[in-house]
Amino acid sequence: MSVPDYMQCAEDHQTLLVVVQPIGIVPEESFFRIYKRISAVSQVNVRDSQRVLYIRYRHHYPPENNEWGDFQTHRKVVGLITITECSSAKEWPQTFEKFHLQKEMYGSTLYDSRLFVFGLQGEIAEQPRTDVAFYPGYNECETVEKRIEDFIESLFIVLESKRLDRATDKSGDKIPLLCVPFEKKDFVGLDTDSRHYKKRCQGRMRKHVGDLCLQAGMLQDSLVHYHMAVELLRSVNDFLWLGAALEGLCSASVIYHYPGGTGGKVGSRRAQGGSLSAEAGNRHRPGALTSNGINADTSAEIGRAKNCLSPEDIIEKYKEAISYYGKYKNAGVIELEACVKAVRVLAMQKRSMEASEFLQNAVYINLRQLSEEEKIQRYSILSELYERIGFHRKSAFFKRIAAMQCAAPSIPEPGWRACYKLLLETLPGYSLSLDPQDFSKGTHRGWAAVQMRLLHELVYASRRMGNPALCVRHLSFLLQTMLDFLSDQEKKDVTQSLESYTAKCPGTMEVITLPDGLKLPPVPFTKLPIVKSVKLLNLPTSLRPHKMKSLLGQNVSTKSPFIYSPIIAHSRGEERNKKIDFQWVQGDVCEVQLMVYNPMPFELRVENMGLLTTGVEFESLPAALSLPAESGLYPVTLVGVPQTTGQITVNGYHTSVFGVFSDCLLDNLPGVKTNGCTVEVIPALPRLQISTSLPRSAHTLQPSSGDEISTNVSVQLYNGETQELIIKLENIGTEPLEKLEVTAKTVNTKEKLYGDFLSWNLEDTLCQFPLKPGKIATFIVNIKVKLDFSCQENLLQDLSDDGISVSGLPLSSPFRQVVKPRVETKPLNPQESSKVGDFSHVKTLEAILNFKYSGGPGHAEGYYRNLALGLHVEVEPSVFFTRISTLPATSTRQCHLLLDVFNSTEHELTISARNNEDLILHAGECQRMAIQVDKFNFESFPESPTDGAQLANAKQLEEERQQARGLEINSKLDICWKIPSLKREGEASVEGVLNQLVLEHLQLAPLQWDILVNGKVCDCDVVVTCQVGDPVPLQVKLTNWSKHSVGPFALTMMPYQDYQNGVHNYDLQDAITFVGSNTFYIDTVKPTKDSVYFGSLLFLYTGDFYLNIKFHEDNCSRELPLSWLCLPSVHIRATDGPS
């Protein structure tokens, strides 16, 4: 026997072999449809008996194997069923002749045969025949199963007769010697009458009868016969047949112990027919089994158990039988099949190691030269058996050999599809799957070198099959999962192969379904490049949306009445891990930053890299990048535009590398760090872009709040100069700009500013709103720098003390004096020496203009944007006031303000005040200027608090009063400077140089005295004219602006003449007479009230006369300061004629 049956199992020993074959031309599909119906009748209950017959069907069986039917009866073809088509009566004789020829092939062993004829109708078909069945067609053959059952019963009758015939002990008859084919020539010339020969004949016959009993369903009898055969054959050293007897004994015991079978098929062999024998029924009755599966109640079971081998003995007898088979070179097939049967039994017993020994023996059994198909079958069965005993890698090894055998060079037409299919089946054995997700968790499983070899073979098989899509998928899988194990050269080779395949068939993310239904999942390149972190970026500072604050405030949550709840805090913490605390804006470009690196030893080009999102319609703007070899971490920014509002989740990114398109999801990248993947998209807002008339600044402002400034501009101004900043507001978005608020904040300066640094009128700009997309509005800001103009360093030589007065003593007139800086005098204080030359120091002012704007749908939802403009102003000194003092004027309500002005610029400068001539100062020159000013009433300003509880604010209030006084004085002086060569001009402020003494001299006395002569107010150089002989009315009016009542007062009028030589003549009784008393009495005057005293004068002669008014020294006048009792001078000119 040369063709092994690798599907054999121990229970096949109890089956009858029936061959089903076609005669003539029968469609393959039709034949196998009938064959399937025939093979379904695999067990039949024998009529009037409790026995069951088991049938084994084959549609192909080598005739040479039939010659071993005496050795093991289950190898003998006992039944033949032929299927043919016959369309006419003329073909019938020829068809029937073919049937007889087919029977002759197995004629020596056949018990019975049948011919199924399809398509023949008429007289011939109507003739009743037992061995022929006629059917009109393949769909009209309902009685096939019934005829098969009848056929099997006829086989049983023959089988039973043969069993009874052989089992009967006919001592008078000579027992024939049963032989295997290769033994016949060895027994020629033997002594047939010897005792040894007779025992051999008896032992072989006993073994043969045991086979017949087993096939006839008589398990107990077969066990007895097998035991007897073993004893007889062992005594004569008939090892081949002894092995067969032992194998028969093992098979019968296996059938008893494992009624479900050892073949591993779905559904037990005994359950297929739907009925069990009475013996089996008793054994499987609930509660009837002991631990070894034997019913202990019936005598039949007791006897059977005595003859039946235990599970352990079964394996020992199998080993013994196989060892006997191994003695015969021509019994290799028998030995191989015995090993296979033993392995199936050991698999049932979970004894994997012993099973592997049997399989290892089977591998080395030397058979005749096998065909390629037989080799494939042999290796496939070995693989299946190794799989059954749990040797998965060994199973995969033989499966791979079978696959390689399918494409052996000796095969004219290699079966690459079969090779590919078998290679796929080897993957689990090498811990390899086609799902890349299995390789992203934990450490690598399996031998990477073997796995790579297998994947390369899959690629090659796919290519030979003519399926480039499969090549791309397997190469992608190799590159993705085995990247860490590839050498640099292998990486280059694999990528080159991949690019050559993708040029014909690009790699996609679609699932590839094979013809057998296996699905190959897509392979995204998550390692090309490797992404280490994903960070959703906030919008630029100028584009970030802000929510308008509600009445409750931003941090108050109205969802819970509790101030704090640990449950709520925990859930919010989890949400914060996923959702980000900033927003994106509909229609604006949003960014996601990926930190990637290239693990390849060459430059990696990544094309069409973009974002994968859900939740909001999102337009991804793909990018292309080129990463240098083994680049290390490299930032990549992916951008896109959300088209709608709501929650958007960034799920991953897509790439195109080496022609393979990949969708890489973050959930499948466990090592990726992220700050969250979900962000809220708010409705669209306008976008404001600003441009100015000033140049951009190299200085970048850093505000304390941390906000970024989009634009920085700078300007250089002289102290006191004013310049217009023209800002163009352009709406570069898609929504109208409807609301605009502008605020300013001075930052990073220790300098004291006087007046408004920045000022604007927003109404003119708002008249141009709403600003449509693409439109421009103009906004003007006035920059006015007024720093301290005082010079505290005292670097200039003091002016001559002559003419400088702070005591109020009169001088003849103000004067100007030119001075130069004192260079020979060195200050003793080292701190002062460090300040030399500080006149040219440039000071810096910085401010931020904030534009808060909104519009469109975002404005309706309560969102706005902030745009900041940084302003850097370098202030160069213009003029300094080095000293300040006052001189009294001729009027009690005026005084002279003396200022020493120093030109610190490098240009000629003119300085002027209200109603004064221009003063020209050369570069570095200092001159004094005098300005006559009206005194000021400071009583309207708030007084310093006197309450002890408010002393903390006293200093602040005093500074405010000082500042208000300085502002009023400066507005009245209106001091301006001009640099003609530069055509620049500005103001000069005295606010920083005013001291308390000067302020007192500039302040109006609280008691205001007015003297009217002939109805005219007398003051300064006013000369009142009158006529000699006419009485002249004289009024003295006192207005009390103090907070307390004053008076009473007594004033004496003393007229005199001034001869302009220092001599005053008071002896004028003959020239002037008073109508009434020359002493005026003024009663007490309450605050804010006034009092008037009337009198009159009579001039007797012409001339210029003056009145000297003196207060009587009493308690009231002594308590008041002298400055409160300062009366104006009175000059009266008496003439003859009318004035």
Beta bridge mates, 920: 910
342 to each of 42, 354, 418, 1047, how far by Cα in Å?
Answer: 23, 10, 29, 142
Q: Using pLDDT thresholds of 50, 70 and 90, give the confidence band for residue 764.
A: confident
Q: What is the pLDDT of residue 706?
A: 55
SS3 per-residue string spanning 251-268: HHHHHHHCCCCCCCCCCC
Structure token digits, residue 5:
């049956």
Beta bridge mates, 783: 723, 758
Q: What is the pLDDT of residue 567?
A: 52
Q: What is the pLDDT of residue 267?
A: 35
**Radius of gyration of the chain from Cα atoms?**
62
Q: What is the pLDDT of residue 805?
A: 33
pLDDT tens-digit profile of 423-435? 999 999 999 988 8
Matching residue, tokens 């069923």: 81
pLDDT tens-digit profile of 990-1043? 777 776 677 767 777 777 777 888 777 777 677 888 888 788 888 887 777 777
Q: What is the pLDDT of residue 704?
A: 60
The pTM of the full predicted model, rounded to 2 decimals, is 0.68
Rounded-to-integer distance, Cα 129 and Cα 150, Å: 13
Q: What is the pLDDT of residue 843?
A: 85
Helix (H, G, I), strand (E, B) or coil at 1056: strand
Q: Which of 41-45, 773-777, 945-949 bottoms out in mean pLDDT, i.e. has the lowest?
A: 945-949
Q: Using pLDDT thresholds of 50, 70 and 90, give the confidence band for residue 1067.
A: confident
Q: What is the pLDDT of residue 975?
A: 86
pLDDT tens-digit profile of 205-220? 999 999 999 999 999 9
Q: What is the pLDDT of residue 574?
A: 42
Question: In the predicted model, what is the mean pLDDT of residues 9-22?
Answer: 94
Higher-scoring residue by pLDDT: 393, 1058: 393
27-41, 285-299, 837-851, range with greatest mean pLDDT? 27-41
Q: Which of 103-107, 135-139, 308-312, 890-894 bottoms out in mean pLDDT, i.e. has the lowest?
A: 890-894
Question: In the predicted model, what is the mean pLDDT of residues 813-834?
Answer: 37
Structure token digits, residue 74:
């289950």
Q: What is the pLDDT of residue 175?
A: 85
Q: Is 758 exposed, middle or buried (0-12, 13-18, 19+ CB in 10 A)?
A: buried
Q: What is the pLDDT of residue 1011?
A: 81
Q: Is the peptide bond before 468 cis (omega within 30 degrees of 0)?
A: no
258-272, 556-570, 674-688, 838-852, range with greatest mean pLDDT? 674-688
Question: In the predicted model, what is the mean pLDDT of residues 910-917?
Answer: 82
Q: What is the pLDDT of residue 1115?
A: 58
For residues 277 and 50, the answer to whether their CB atoms sit within 8 Å is yes
State yes or no: pLDDT of 682 exceeds 90.
yes
State yes or no: pLDDT of 785 exceeds 50.
yes
Among candidates 147, 153, 156, 86, which has minimal Cα distance to 120? Answer: 86
Q: What is the pLDDT of residue 297?
A: 39
Q: What is the pLDDT of residue 695?
A: 82
pLDDT more than 90, % of the chain: 36
State yes or no: pLDDT of 48 exceeds 90.
no
Beta bridge mates, 53: 44
Question: In the predicted model, what is the mean pLDDT of residues 796-809?
Answer: 36
Higher-scoring residue by pLDDT: 1105, 1139: 1105
Higher-scoring residue by pLDDT: 111, 951: 111
Q: Using pLDDT thresholds of 50, 70 and 90, give the confidence band for residue 703.
A: low
Q: What is the pLDDT of residue 209?
A: 94
Question: In the predicted model, what is the mean pLDDT of residues 399-413?
Answer: 88
Structure token digits, residue 679:
């962000």
Q: What is the pLDDT of residue 350?
A: 92
Q: Do strands 545-547 and 863-876 pair parallel, antiparallel, or not at all (unpaired)? A: antiparallel
Question: In whole angstroms, what separates CA 575 from the centre of its chain?
Answer: 15
Average pLDDT of the chain, as a whole number: 81
Q: Which of 158-162, 922-926, 1061-1065 bottoms out in mean pLDDT, i.e. has the lowest?
A: 1061-1065
Rounded-to-integer distance, Cα 1056 and Cα 1108, Å: 7
pLDDT tens-digit profile of 132-149? 999 988 888 889 999 999
pLDDT tens-digit profile of 714-737? 888 888 888 889 999 999 989 999
Q: Using pLDDT thresholds of 50, 70 and 90, give the confidence band for residue 568.
A: very low
Q: What is the pLDDT of residue 561?
A: 56
* DSSP per residue, 44-100: EEPTTSS-EEEEEEES---HHHHTTTTTSGGGSEEEEEEEEE--SGGGHHHHHHHHH
State yes or no: pLDDT of 74 exceeds 60.
yes
Structure token digits, residue 559:
């969802």
Higher-scoring residue by pLDDT: 1016, 104: 104
1000 to each of 894, 913, 935, 1120, how far by Cα in Å?
Answer: 12, 21, 10, 15
Q: What is the pLDDT of residue 2?
A: 66
Mutual orientation of helices 372-388 and 352-363 as an angle, nearest 10°? 170
Beta-carbon-side half-sphere exposure of residue 733 (alpha carbons within 13 Å): 28
Angle, alpha carbons 1094-1095-1096 (nearest 5°): 140
Q: Do strands 530-536 and 1090-1099 pair parallel, antiparallel, or not at all (unpaired)? A: unpaired
Among candidates 440, 590, 592, which has minimal Cα distance to 521? Answer: 440
For residues 1072 and 1097, the answer to whether their CB atoms sit within 8 Å is yes
Question: In the predicted model, what is the mean pLDDT of residues 603-617?
Answer: 92
Q: What is the pLDDT of residue 1117?
A: 60
Q: Which of 29-38, 793-802, 889-898, 1102-1111 bottoms out in mean pLDDT, i.e. has the lowest?
A: 793-802
pLDDT more than 70, % of the chain: 84
Q: Using pLDDT thresholds of 50, 70 and 90, give the confidence band for residue 285.
A: very low
Rounded-to-integer distance, Cα 888 and Cα 805, Å: 9
Q: What is the pLDDT of residue 553?
A: 40
For residues 370 and 362, the answer to whether their CB atoms sit within 8 Å is no
State yes or no: pLDDT of 688 exceeds 70.
yes
800-814, 817-831, 1055-1069, range with greatest mean pLDDT? 1055-1069
Higher-scoring residue by pLDDT: 622, 1131: 622
Q: What is the pLDDT of residue 581?
A: 86
Higher-scoring residue by pLDDT: 461, 828: 461
For residues 713 and 694, the answer to whether their CB atoms sit within 8 Å is yes
State yes or no: pLDDT of 179 exceeds 60.
yes
Beta bridge mates, 179: none
Q: CA torsion angle for 642, 644, 650, 655 (degrees, to 10)?
A: -50
Q: Which of 266-270, 288-292, 388-392 bottoms out in mean pLDDT, i.e. has the lowest?
A: 288-292
For residues 212 and 245, the answer to whether their CB atoms sit within 8 Å is no
For residues 339 and 367, the answer to whether their CB atoms sit within 8 Å is no
What's phi and psi for 563, nearest 5 deg?
Answer: -70, -45
Return all residues near 639 (Cβ < 8 A) that are at least 6 apart. 589, 590, 591, 592, 620, 621, 623
416-420, 443-447, 1057-1061, range with greatest mean pLDDT? 416-420
State yes or no: pLDDT of 779 exceeds 70.
yes
**DSSP assigned state of 824:** S
Q: Using pLDDT thresholds of 50, 70 and 90, give the confidence band for residue 1112.
A: confident
Higher-scoring residue by pLDDT: 939, 489: 489
pLDDT tens-digit profile of 523-561? 999 988 999 999 999 998 888 899 887 543 444 344 455
Q: Which of 81-85, 296-300, 697-701, 870-874 bottoms out in mean pLDDT, i.e. has the lowest?
A: 296-300
The sign one gets for the Cα dihedral 822, 826, 831, 836 is positive
Beta-carbon-side half-sphere exposure of residue 452 (alpha carbons within 13 Å): 16
